[in-house]
């Protein structure tokens, strides 16, 4: 996508399609539309009189330009009540716009902002358009493998020359963030036979070379040297060897302690011996979405040149049944030395995270954030609408909540009362990996808490919010890529939470 930026009056615009954003109105044209109405010889007034457009949220109207203007058509995009407009209103509107035939059949378009000066609106507009139009075509053939979208060039325009530079920087940021979220989606939708732990590690190395990150991979032999018994226990049923991915970005001061991101990287989860039902098991190719988020986040941080140091850790493995697989009742010893009785082999994500959270101590982190499609129990707490979060640090919760408000990636704090930790104790080992169905999301977090070091920690469970079943304006049916914008926003405004 080619992007450009101009400041210009409407009547001087030259393009194929003009996209004009406006707040809602009723009987009288609002200020945004008066200039356009004048330039189009009263065309907007005629639409108003015919009750064909009122500017309500995500409403769109298309009409041909009158003679004398150097663009073929105009698309009006409504944003709703001006007092209620947020960045997400632009994100939703442009998500819908990405599927609007009048636009995607054009080769060039101008997105015109008259009366809107908030940089977040500009950023969200491109995010919404790119996210809404995402479609993975890698495994299609013939004509279906070719995008039907003809639009290749968007010019962002404003009548106010003073904000042009602000617009450009905001839109470029939106481009990088949208590409980061689409990278998460690409990873998550990739079939398991095309994304084994080995291939996942190779892709991490390729991204690191491209964006100037350091990347090292621990193979099975080195994982054994690190005594990551929990990760090895999960992997032992698979013919695919596990990998432990370590990516580093140094954008902060030399010697500054890093923020460590940990992502669950189960590239296919059958459940192991505690086999999942066959219905929807195909979706378990996406059980590495947490890993996709932390890999894409560190790449996005590098592209944005964020002034922080970051380490991303990914324990990557399959969870498969076989004659060598972990059995219910087996006991594994984690890297930390704690023994874990395996009650359910389908509670594997917390096991690989346990070793990664302990390994995070090697970096003397400012803080550690793990993100994972961890528990099906989230369906019964927040459903598909938000992600449970947990932390041992109030400043971490505040940063996550602030980032959530800004990005509209919703999170909600859950408790970590002592009783939940008690439920994860074993009669014959130190811990069990499953404490029963009740409060399953919280108990999983309580289990992880046993493996954190002396650092501020947050856990984000993105199970069920990682997949969109129906489709929303900027989240098409399929994987959502949720978590990327949340973490990037948090890192963009990072403040050391203290220990």
pLDDT digits (tens, 9 = 90+) for 364-400: 999 999 999 999 999 999 999 999 999 999 999 999 9
Orientation of helix 394-407 relative to helix 484-492, angle to 10°? 120
**Domains delineated in the chain:** 2-159 (3.40.220.10), 181-492 (3.40.630.10)
Give the pLDDT confidence score for residue 348 in this predicted structure: 99
Q: Name residues whose C-beta falls within 8 Å of residue 262's C-beta, 6 or more positions apart in sequence.
A: 290, 294, 312, 313, 314, 353, 356, 357, 360, 368, 369, 370, 371
**Average pLDDT over the chain, rounded to an integer:** 95
- Per-residue pLDDT band for 47 (boundaries 50, 70, 90) equals confident
Cα separation, 202 vs 232, whole angstroms: 20
Give the active site residue among 91, 285, 335, 350: 350
Q: Name residues whose C-beta falls within 8 Å of residue 288's C-beta, 6 or more positions apart in sequence.
A: 187, 188, 195, 200, 263, 264, 265, 266, 267, 316
Give the pLDDT confidence score for residue 231 in this predicted structure: 99
Give the pLDDT confidence score for residue 39 in this predicted structure: 83
Report whether 304 contacts 173 (CB < 8 A): yes
Cα separation, 461 vs 496, whole angstroms: 23
Say whether pLDDT at 51 is over 80: no
Is 350 a known active-site residue? Answer: yes
Give the pLDDT confidence score for residue 435 in this predicted structure: 95
Give the pLDDT confidence score for residue 28 in this predicted structure: 64
**DSSP secondary structure string, 349-416?**
HHHHHHHHHHHGGGG--SEEEEEE---GGGGGTTTTS-EEEEES-HHHHHHHHHHHHHHT--EEE---
- Letter string b/e over residues 194-206, b meaning 16 or more CB atoms within 10 A of that residue's CB: ebbbbbbbebbbe
Is 276 a known active-site residue? Answer: yes
Cα separation, 41 vs 146, whole angstroms: 40
Taking CA 291 as the corner, what is the angle to CA 285 and CA 294, rounded to the nearest 5 degrees? 145
Stronger pLDDT, 12 or 58, i.e. the higher one: 12
Q: E-assigned strands of 234-302?
A: 243-250, 259-263, 265-269
Cα separation, 26 vs 47, whole angstroms: 12
Cα separation, 157 vs 4, whole angstroms: 9
pTM: 0.96
First and final C-alpha spacing in the chain: 44
Say whether pLDDT at 105 is over 70: yes
- Per-residue pLDDT band for 26 (boundaries 50, 70, 90) equals low
Report whether 244 contacts 231 (CB < 8 A): yes
Q: Name residues whose C-beta falls within 8 Å of residue 38's C-beta, 6 or more positions apart in sequence.
A: none
Stronger pLDDT, 126 or 26, i.e. the higher one: 126
Backbone angles phi, psi at 319, to 5 degrees: -120, 100
- Per-residue pLDDT band for 32 (boundaries 50, 70, 90) equals low
pLDDT digits (tens, 9 = 90+) for 118-140: 999 999 999 999 999 999 999 99
pLDDT digits (tens, 9 = 90+) for 275-306: 999 999 999 999 999 999 999 999 999 999 99
Least confident of 41-50, 266-275, 295-304, 393-402: 41-50
Report whether 178 contacts 133 (CB < 8 A): no
Beta bridge partners of 157: 6, 112
pLDDT digits (tens, 9 = 90+) for 200-257: 999 999 999 999 999 999 999 999 999 999 999 999 999 999 999 999 999 999 999 9
Give the active site residue among 119, 166, 276, 395: 276
């Amino acid at each position: 996508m080619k992007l450009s930026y101009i400041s210009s009056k409407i009547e001087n615009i030259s393009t194929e399609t003009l996209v004009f954003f406006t707040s809602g109105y009723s009987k009288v044209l609002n200020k945004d539309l008066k200039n356009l109405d004048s330039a189009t010889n009263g065309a907007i007034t005629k639409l108003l009189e015919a009750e064909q457009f009122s500017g309500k949220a995500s409403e769109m109207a298309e009409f041909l330009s009158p003679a004398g203007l150097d663009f073929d058509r105009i698309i009006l995009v409504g944003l709703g009540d001006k007092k209620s407009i947020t960045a997400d209103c632009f994100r939703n509107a442009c998500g819908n716009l990405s599927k609007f035939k009048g636009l995607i059949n054009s080769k060039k378009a101008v997105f015109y902002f008259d009366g809107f000066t908030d940089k977040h609106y500009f950023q969200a507009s491109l995010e919404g358009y790119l996210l809404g139009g995402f479609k993975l075509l890698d495994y299609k053939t013939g004509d279906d493998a070719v995008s039907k979208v003809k639009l290749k060039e968007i010019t962002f325009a404003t009548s106010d020359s003073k904000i042009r530079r602000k617009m450009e920087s905001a839109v470029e940021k939106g481009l990088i963030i949208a590409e980061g979220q689409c990278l998460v989606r690409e990873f998550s939708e990739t079939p398991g036979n095309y994304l084994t732990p080995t291939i996942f590690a190779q892709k991490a190395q390729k991204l690191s070379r491209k964006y100037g990150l350091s990347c090292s991979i621990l193979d099975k032999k080195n994982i054994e040297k690190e005594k990551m018994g929990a990760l090895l226990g999960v992997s032992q049923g698979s013919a695919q060897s596990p990998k432990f991915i370590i990516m580093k970005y140094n954008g902060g001061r030399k010697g500054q302690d890093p923020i460590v991101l940990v992502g669950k990287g189960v590239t296919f989860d059958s459940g192991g011996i505690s086999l999942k039902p066959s219905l929807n098991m195909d979706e378990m190719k996406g059980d590495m979405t947490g890993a996709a988020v932390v890999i894409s986040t560190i790449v996005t941080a590098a592209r944005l040149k964020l002034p922080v140091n970051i380490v991303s850790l990914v324990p990557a493995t399959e969870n498969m049944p076989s004659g060598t697989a972990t059995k219910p009742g087996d006991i594994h010893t984690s890297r930390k030395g704690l023994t874990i009785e395996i009650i359910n082999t389908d509670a594997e994500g917390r096991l690989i995270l346990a070793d990664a959270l302990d390994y995070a101590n090697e970096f003397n982190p400012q803080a550690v954030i793990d993100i994972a499609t961890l528990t099906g129990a989230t369906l019964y707490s927040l459903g598909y609408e938000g992600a449970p979060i947990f932390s041992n640090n109030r400043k971490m919760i505040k940063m996550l909540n602030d980032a959530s408000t800004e990005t509209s990636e919703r999170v909600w704090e859950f408790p970590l009362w002592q009783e939940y930790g008690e439920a994860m104790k074993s009669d014959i080992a130190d811990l069990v990996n499953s404490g029963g169905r009740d409060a399953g999301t919280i108990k999983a977090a309580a289990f992880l808490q046993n493996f954190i070091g002396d650092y501020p920690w947050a856990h984000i469970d993105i199970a069920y919010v990682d997949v969109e079943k129906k489709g929303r304006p900027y989240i098409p049916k399929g994987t959502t890529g949720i978590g990327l914008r949340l973490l990037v926003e948090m890192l963009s405004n990072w403040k050391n939470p203290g220990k």
